[in-house]
Amino acid sequence: MYIELTIGIITLLISGAIRYWIYRRKFNRRNSVGLEEFSSFEKSVFTRIFEQILKLISYIFIILGIFYLWRYYQYSGTKPGTSANIEATK
């Protein structure tokens, strides 16, 4: 089935988009010295917690994407006993 391939590719793309968005936000918060600037301490804490949760979700999506691609690869070949395998062994 192509559903495993589709899900695998979509989850990897989503995880890449999440990671890109996080690192872009982090880059845009930096000042000329290279330090991250926040308007308040609370915003700093909540932003970092939120980004850590998103990174964890991204890692889960990467693992799921690799799993679905592996599953597609394992089951995409010809099955034993099919006509293609019987003719190939002759």
For Cα atoms 21, 25, 29, give the angle at the middle one, nearest 5 degrees: 170
Asked whether residue 52 carries a pLDDT value surpassing 80, the answer given is: yes
The model carries a pTM of 0.75
- Distance between CA 21 and CA 27 in Å, rounded? 10
Amino acid letter at 37? E
Per-residue model confidence as pLDDT tens digits over 59-90: 999 999 999 999 998 888 755 555 555 555 55
